[in-house]
Amino acid sequence: MDRIDDKTTRREFVAGVAATSLVTAGCRAPTQRPPREEERASADAPSLKPIAQLMSARERHWVGDGFAVSTIFSPRLLDPQLLSPFILMDHAPEREFGPTATRRGVGEHPHRGFETVTFAYQGEIDHRDSHGGGGTIGPGDVQWMTAGSGVVHEEKHSRRFSQVGGAFEMVQLWVNLPARLKMTAPRYQALTGASFPSLSFGGASGRLIAGALQGQNGPASSHTPITMFDVTLPASTESSFELALGHTVLVFVLEGEGVAQGEQRVSTGDLLVLDRDAPGRVQLAANSATRLLVLSGEPLGEPVVARGPFVMNTAEEIQQAMQDYRRGLMGRLAPTT
């Protein structure tokens, strides 16, 4: 297992030896000892999915004047095929903002070829776009925008939050679209925290945002098969779950610390990339109160060309997106008063 910041950890492999009983003429097979209870329990226990990569949060930078983020992954940091269908994730850790008459955030900018998913943990964000999508999300809510063929939007601290200030924490995720849907019609989904079904993982709890798990379905509508949920673990509890074999599985530690997959220490800002082709469950034992964001999706297996606000399959498609934006084909935002 590799760590992206060049700090390496060792994975210990234990080789089992199969005992074979042979019977030959004039020889008696050795008596087989019945397995002990703990050996039977170990044999029956489901295996743990191996860790393919461990990445740590990088230095923060500003996106606009409202989001001080660490980029957890992007096509520049890690092979996008390893992460597919996920492209990029920024985490804006908790930060205090004072009251202001000027709304902070990111002004008008375009996107094409993918979806943006914004998770609000603290604070509030206003969104509006050139296709009529818009609204305010606050703590516990999620905003899912399909850029598709092209959209222009802005994201800013809400008017109320700007006036009073307070703690702010968000995550933004980019989810790729398959080639056949790159030019699909834009769409906006505002998902309230109350709409997410509750999940149970022993002593831990969670909320299902997209996909199917534990007999329930998340309210988010995605263009590709995705399971997305968060998990809250009190100190000294454990969370364990299993996801579809062959799907990308990412686990991001929003807050806290613990031990993943029985051996790997993780803490705030760490991202686990699990081996998609190996069966087994995902497990985390929390040493302190811990929050996780779990992402799982079917890999697209298509070329990824990402440049600025566009994610396409070829460089020519990127050039076309730039031209279409300059010509106003993705729309414009109406001036605010």
pTM above 0.95, yes or no: no
Which residues lie across from 143 on neighbouring strands?
Answer: 118, 190
Residue 241's pLDDT is: 96
Confidence band, pLDDT 50/70/90 cuts, at residue 12: very low
| 240-257 mean pLDDT | 97
| 248-257 mean pLDDT | 98
CB atoms within 10 A of CB 26: 4
Per residue in 182-226, pLDDT (tens digit) is 999 999 999 999 999 999 998 899 999 999 999 999 999 999 999
Q: What are phi and psi of 318, to 5 degrees?
A: -65, -45
* Separation of alpha carbons 147 and 153, rounded Å: 9
Helix (H), strand (E) at residue 290: strand 290-297
CB atoms within 10 A of CB 68: 16
Tokens linked to 137: 């999300």
Confidence band, pLDDT 50/70/90 cuts, at residue 151: very high
Tokens linked to 197: 């079904």
Residue 335's pLDDT is: 80
Q: Which of 307, 331, 328, 330 is nearest to 319 (CA)?
A: 307
85 prior amide bond cis, ω within 30: yes
The residue type of 201 is F
* Separation of alpha carbons 206 and 31, rounded Å: 50
Per residue in 42-95, pLDDT (tens digit) is 444 569 999 999 999 888 999 999 999 999 999 998 899 999 999 999 999 999
Q: Is 215 left (phi over 0), alpha (psi -120 to 50) or beta?
A: left
Residue 59's pLDDT is: 86
Per residue in 89-116, pLDDT (tens digit) is 999 999 999 999 999 999 999 999 999 9
Contact 68, 60 (CB under 8 A): yes
Residue 58's pLDDT is: 83
Task: For the chain, list the domains and their CATH numbers.
Answer: 51-326 (2.60.120.10)
Provide the 3-class DSSP secondary structure of residue 129.
strand
Angle at Cα 236 formed by Cα 235 and Cα 238, nearest 5°? 105
* Separation of alpha carbons 303 and 204, rounded Å: 38
Residue 45's pLDDT is: 54
CB atoms within 10 A of CB 65: 15
Query: CA separation (Å) from 221 to 167, 314, 321?
Result: 29, 26, 25
